[in-house]
Structure 1
Amino acid sequence: MAATGAAKGRLVYNIYKAFSYALSPLLRLHLQLRKLRGLEHPTRWPERLGRPSLPRPPGPLLWFHAVSLGEGMAAIPVIKRCVQCRPDLNILMTTTTMSAFEVIKNQLPSNVLYQFSPVDTPAAVDAFLGYWKPNAVMIMENELWPNLIMISSRKGIALALLNARISAKSFRRWSAPVLFRLISLLLSKFSLIVPLSNVQAIRLQLLQAPPSIINFSGDLKYAVGYDICNEEQGSINDLKTQLANRHVWMASSIHRGEEEVILGVHKVLLQMYPDLLTIIVPRYPQHGQELAQELQKEGHNVALRSKHQRITPGENIYLVDTLGELRQLYLLTPVAVIGGSFCPGFAGHNISEAAAACCAIFTGYHVGHFSHMVHEMQLLNPLSVLQVSGKSDLQANIIELFGNARVLETRRMAAGQAFHALSSGVITNAWNLIKIHILGQALAERI
């Protein structure tokens, strides 16, 4: 029965492989069009076709791959532990998006190599693997690309899936008969899968991931670091001075449509607290710039982060239209509202960064795969994260916190304590699993 399933999976993969071969010429054109739109790097976009821009150093090499900024940031603490514990290993990091590139390139240790990931065509993956010759691939979260996984496995490269997650929507799609066989085949090629939660582990096993390779370390997104350069620290300290003695709250990772909730709360709070400052951090910088123009036309006093505008007493909205500063900005505010959660269809965002900064945290109910993080923190302390239904609920709760210093302090302490309990040992656990299940196999077989 298992052999039949594997054969069907290989048949589906061969169809995918043939299809990706046929699309290869179009993908090159697609990448060039994306470059013109600013979605690919202007000079390094050929890396997406497996063409390197850096020399491959001698010795064993571990490849960490993440698609975007959130997954990439979760990989960095593991990479740093790897550099610390095994300085003899070369580390290669790849991401897909420009937003990840702009931030992560400044966060990695200086000796870590950084490239854009290859598109999932046989030619691009073959070229990439043929040049870099990784001993193991650490894939973050849910990047189950068939050519990458199957070609890596064929070449004897060990595979790990870290912080593994499958959304409910993806699980339903992958459970369909045709895709089920392919996903089952792909999961069988891994030597280690580290799921985010028990729910994710169950979904993976239902998709026939071998139970023996599933191990838990804790969510890597709890591994929040605040390593910032002197210039960035100076900028944050300057902001802290500008915000002194004001009522401050922050709405982060705000998506289009959610600004109505945030601005509605802002208007009510401003009537009660004339010294109010609302920090708004849109999910995408372009949205922030557009929002600033709209607010200024309406007569609001707005300072824009990208223009390095100072926050004067007359300004009550600070719009952050930059990337990579969210962790530091949480240190400026006692109250954090996490966006991507107030409208149906959204999937939430990482709340651990706000918890690490001991913010009183609010989020909506549409938190998607971050529901496990909300529930974990609430189980440890129900006051650590409060989910609100919308504008009126959020407004009432922030008014309570601004009006009662003891309640605010209790909420902040609850978030910080829950974070520290959940973050303890996560990186050590993940590193130990990589040593046991990946490095032993990869270095023994390939070196």
Structure 2
Amino acid sequence: MAALPVVRHCARLHPGLPILLTTTTLSSFEVMKDLLPDGVIYQFAPLDCPDAIESFIGYWKPNLILLMESELWPNLILSAAEKGIAVVLLNARMSLKSFNRWSLPLGLQLVSLMLSKLSLVIPLSTIQAVRFQLLHAPPQIIHFAGDLKYAVGDIAAGEKEVAAIEDLQQQFSNRPIWMAASIHKGEDEIILRVHDELTRAYPTLLLILVPRHPEDSKNVSQTLKKQKVNFVLRSTREVVSSNTSIYVVDTLGELRMLYRVTPIAVIGGSFLPGLAGHNISEAAAVGCAVMTGPSVGHFYHMLVEMWQINPLAVKQVKGEYELLEALKQLLGDSRALEACQRAAKDAFSFMSDGVVNRVWNLVHPFTIGSQTDTCDSFSSS
């Protein structure tokens, strides 16, 4: 998703420039295919093996390749450099685990060679920049511009989304609502226990539960049936009644739309050890009061940036009990809720301002070429 704002910006400024966007997963393909500008070509990325890469580059003949986040493909990078094709790494990040692995003698030799072939690296944070430099990325190619995930949250709702929002708002009929987004297996148990406790004080409370992987909805549904909890699956298009306690979203690509119908968003992938959080900016963009758990991985830089603007912008809780207490506070105090919503939206507005332009100003010199050239972007989402 972080590639989308750059793709749209490129298409708007260079309407005649062929753009190819590739992805490595089916879920990303399903989400992205309906969000791209007209004319953008979209397909799966080739395997990073010599024959596949040579065939891919030989067919498309790109003059620029944009890689996203942690996507370091040795054969692609080295083959492109050999042919004089500029390769840029956007939203560049490297986990501590990956950094330690690349720092080993054999890994360091390969990664330093790869990084020396890049034309530009735009890291997420100073820490990320230091890691790339320690792996021998040339200092002169590292430039800061901001996190493109802020720009993803700034994408306006389309006509279909607006219609879906209005439909859900009518179904929810001013009930108190909270949403648990991108919930991983195991986290759902925490969320369901918290919701059960909250409904004792707020009987009409509705939970919008969005599993990270739609297939996990089956397990959630089975659990709710055993507990005799009234729930609705989004895929069935069944109407949410006043008796519905939980709205389980088992569809793809609707998270940004759903943030627009809830005042409170709890971001998953953060409540169990070993998880690494998810993007909080999309919820902040539409004015949700945002909460997350303790395990946020590289998204910690985003929390810090938003806290620096307003400490109320994101509430990080240590676990189940703190989550329950924080939700009780927001559900029971409209002023506190409004303050958190306003803080999140203001922080997002500040951080998202101009990020795509700053990135594009750094990338643009590498796009200069004939109109038959292709601007190629790899998405890691």
Same fold flag (TM > 0.5): yes
Q: Distance in 2 between matches of 1:260 and 1:76?
A: 33
1:369 counterpart (290, 295, 298): 298
Q: Distance in 1 between matches of 2:7 and 2:25?
A: 19
Asked if 1:84 is matched to 2:12, the reply is: yes
* 2:262 corresponding residue in structure 1: 333
Give, as a single letter, the amino acid of the residue that structure 1 aligns with 2:310. N
Alignment of 1:253-402 (within 5 A): 253-402=182-331
1:157 counterpart (81, 85, 88): 85
Q: Distance in 1 between matches of 2:320 and 2:50?
A: 49
Give, as a single letter, the amino acid of the residue that structure 2 aligns with 1:338. I
Alignment of 1:67-216 (within 5 A): 73-216=1-144
Q: Which moved more, 1:226-235 or 1:148-157?
A: 226-235
Q: Distance in 2 between matches of 1:92 and 1:217?
A: 23
* 1:407 corresponding residue in structure 2: 336
**Identity in percent:** 53
Q: Who wins on radius of gyration, i.e. which is larger?
A: 1
Q: Distance in 1 between matches of 2:194 and 2:147?
A: 32
Q: Distance in 2 between matches of 1:321 and 1:226?
A: 23
Secondary structure class of the residue paired with 2:67: strand
Task: Check whether the contact 2:154–2:285 (CA below 8 A) recurs between aligned residues.
Answer: no
- Alpha-carbon deviations, 1:334-384, whole Å to 9, x = none? 111000001110000000001001111111110001111111111111110
Give, as a single letter, the amino acid of the residue that structure 1 aligns with 2:23. T
Secondary structure class of the residue paired with 2:88: strand
Q: Compute the TM-score of the two structures, normalised by the length of structure 1.
A: 0.81
Give, as a single letter, the amino acid of the residue that structure 2 aligns with 1:323. L
Give, as a single letter, the amino acid of the residue that structure 1 aligns with 2:312. L
Secondary structure class of the residue paired with 1:160: strand
Give, as a single letter, the amino acid of the residue that structure 1 aligns with 2:10. C
Task: Check whether the contact 2:154–2:352 (CA below 8 A) recurs between aligned residues.
Answer: no
Distance 1:279 1:411, change over 3 A: same
Q: Distance in 2 between matches of 1:262 and 1:236?
A: 24
Alignment RMSD: 1.4
Task: Check whether the contact 1:226–1:327 (CA below 8 A) recurs between aligned residues.
Answer: no
Give the count of matched residue pairs: 372
Q: Distance in 2 between matches of 1:120 and 1:266?
A: 45
Distance 1:378 1:361, change over 3 A: same
Asked if 1:219 is matched to 2:113, the reply is: no
More helix by share: 1
- Alpha-carbon deviations, 1:43-79, whole Å to 9, x = none? xxxxxxxxxxxxxxxxxxxxxxxxxxxxxx1111111
Secondary structure class of the residue paired with 1:74: coil
Task: Check whether the contact 1:135–1:443 (CA below 8 A) recurs between aligned residues.
Answer: no
Q: Distance in 2 between matches of 1:232 and 1:88?
A: 28
* 1:420 corresponding residue in structure 2: 349
- Alpha-carbon deviations, 1:308-348, whole Å to 9, x = none? 11110001100001111101101111111000001110000
Secondary structure class of the residue paired with 2:361: helix
* 2:377 corresponding residue in structure 1: none
Q: Distance in 2 between matches of 1:316 and 1:194?
A: 44
Secondary structure class of the residue paired with 1:184: helix
- Alpha-carbon deviations, 1:85-141, whole Å to 9, x = none? 112311110001000111111000111011110001111101111100001100001
- The 4+ residue runs of structure 1 with deviation greater than 3 A are 225-229
Q: Which runs of 5+ in 1 are unaligned?
A: 1-72
